[in-house]
Chains A and B, each alone.
Chain A
């Protein structure tokens, strides 16, 4: 429900090129109607009031992952958040945590993409390429469904308490991407490929408090991926031990 005809928007502004000017809240009054999204408001502010306001956007339909930010304390996509969902007529917008701010609501996603690159986020095959498709059952396809849905928006990364203190932690999104391939019936990565995340900066760093799940706008459950990867690693270790025991016997 709309609480007033005009809302107050407080936006945290900062420019890394002018590090001497501290981050500060700028306040804007905007007329609102039902259905208006936070992204639409941002565009209006930039167009009509302050052309220097920086934020990312592309699809405006919650599929491209551009517009993650903190909206009244909650991490979400600006384009799918309607101003009317809040109990107040004041809306506070801040950049995604756990990243350096470049300008205003735009953060430097480099670490996020580095973690993505690191996990080998692609299908690895060793069998010869068939003439037609590699068959996959409907059930096997369904197993990767939630991880396939990830739009790489970094909401989860911003919400993760472990990343706040350990910036080298692989993080929820990259783990979800890795599990998407590990669970794919067509993927043939060697067991050793998981060693990339098999340490205290990898999946063992997660405290499984599920903040990433709360933050995800696409109902992905990165913690499932982390728990799944841990299980796979333990299984491999167990099999290795068994194998060694056999060899020694």
Chain B
């Protein structure tokens, strides 16, 4: 049995920021299934929002205006008190990251550079060319090394231990040795990231399975607003690698097969820089109505950067150019980029408050796996990196406060029992000759991308639900090829698959129930927002029969009354 005051699961921005905030005062351990710098945060490209007013065009920007844009972008489903805190903290944490060495791009006057992003009234997205996640994650990892944070790399958490309303820790599998290890902690914090891989077409890393979310839910923690899934407008055809919003922020155009800048017809003021939910729907409509281009890998729209010129592309978007050349053999200096919308971000997640505390004593969550909610029904570009660091920091403060009074260490017994359970589960999975896990995963991804996508209808959602229930049944017969537990990625993938099915279940059910269109959730059979009945969060708990039971929670409204969302 391993003992820590505080156990952090996740080596992305959220987990590292929480660890850095706590390790001076407490005995902290950080578990991550990959080396921290391999976490998905590394892939973020475009930038992080903060009203620094460095850009000549943003001199009268303020954190209040940032808050307003965030709430409007959320289609009024964000909790306004939390959004206020995040946007106010934004300025502090961006400076803090800079002081810790983050190499932001600079303006000629030596200040941190800022670029325009979708849905924002001012250019307030701070960046480092197109590798902002890379520089932020490296900086926080460097801080963690400087402070000597105890890290367990390549440990996979298999289950969360909750008993009688209190969290006791986790059971983890040391991927290298195959050993199962119960980890006891007074407080457990999840920064386990999003669930993109529940969808076939996703910009997310292969490791973004959402297992943390599913694991918390299966252990008894409720989830919030799971039906809200962000589809990013511009993902490279085939591999679905993200082409950052900064492509449009820097001035890129979208063209259909008639050579039209079609955004003119939908949102003539904001054009390509309308919020993501809207641009994705416009692109999908163009494709559905036959104005896309044909390609062996699917139909697409063109993202054209050529008019920006070689110098600007090389300076501001060098990573994008390299990805296009490496993965599809296209140089965006010379040719338009073939893109399509696909799954990108998980707005919903583990239900927590502004202190990142869940309703389970001793269990906290932050970043993409959580839902505070600051993004509501649609997240603005550049607000997610922000959320990870702000709430990593705030969680550290809250956990510190909660432990200050002296919390006793948890019991060993529930953890040992849980370890036995996991042990049995793994043994069962190793019995040969049945359903193949990858096949179930592929079928899950396909049905989610096809039927739980940008445009939704009751009929298709119900088909998805039936398919999901079928897959859950077949999961009981799933088996892996080898009983060896060390370096067995087929085994960890299969353990994750169980949680992915749970996550998908809550998404589909939430989407069926929510009979309105708000932000990223668009129902063609209920195509307007309905504040009278639906200005509320959905809360999913695992019911006694294993399927989600949905209840509702009020949205916190401070000073921004819901209005029609026009751009």
Contact = CB atoms under 8 A, between A and B. Distances in A.
Interface of A: 15, 17, 35, 37, 43, 46-48, 50-52, 54-66, 80, 102-104, 106, 109, 113, 116-117, 120-123, 125, 129-138, 141, 144, 148-149, 151-152, 181, 184, 186-187
A136 B480 CA distance: 54
30 contacts: A17-B484, A47-B436, A48-B436, A51-B481, A51-B482, A52-B481, A56-B34, A58-B40, A59-B42, A60-B206, A62-B322, A63-B43, A64-B39, A64-B43, A66-B34, A66-B35, A117-B145, A123-B142, A130-B99, A133-B98, A133-B112, A134-B98, A135-B111, A136-B110, A138-B106, A141-B106, A144-B103, A148-B103, A148-B135, A184-B101
A47 B438 contact: yes
B145 A121 contact: yes
Contacts of A15: 487
B467 to A, nearest CB: 20
A135 B110 contact: yes
B205 A46 contact: no
B37 A65 contact: yes
Where chain B touches its partner, the secondary structure class is: loop
B329 to A, nearest CB: 8
Contacts of B484: 17, 52
Given A35-B328, A106-B487, A135-B111, A129 B99 contact: yes
Interface size class of B (residues with CB under 8 A): 35 or more
A71 to B, nearest CB: 14
Contacts of A123: 100-101, 139, 142
A104 B489 CA distance: 12
Interface in B341-381: none
B101 A186 contact: yes
A48 to B, nearest CB: 7
B241 interface: yes
A58 B206 contact: yes
B101 A122 contact: yes
Nearest to B484: A52
Contact of B490 (A52, A59, A134, A186): A52
Contacts of B323: 61-62
B252 interface: no
Interface in B463-522: 480-482, 484, 486-490
Contacts of B481: 50-52
Contacts of B563: none
Interface in B73-109: 95, 98-101, 103-109
A59 B326 CA distance: 14
Contact of A132 (B95, B297, B326, B327): B95
B131 interface: yes
Interface string B162-206: 000000000000001000000000000000000000000000011
A61 B319 CA distance: 10
Interface string B234-252: 0000110100000000000
Given A61-B43, A104-B487, A132-B95, 12 more contacts: A17-B484, A47-B490, A54-B487, A58-B38, A58-B207, A59-B38, A63-B319, A122-B143, A122-B145, A135-B109, A138-B105, A152-B37
A60 B480 CA distance: 23
A123 B146 CA distance: 9
Contact of A80 (B42, B106, B326): B326
6 nearest A-B pairs in the assembled complex, by CB-CB distance:
A123-B101, A51-B481, A135-B110, A47-B438, A51-B490, A122-B142
Given A35-B328, A181-B101, A60 B487 contact: no
Interface string B128-144: 10010011001100110
Contacts of B35: 66, 109, 113
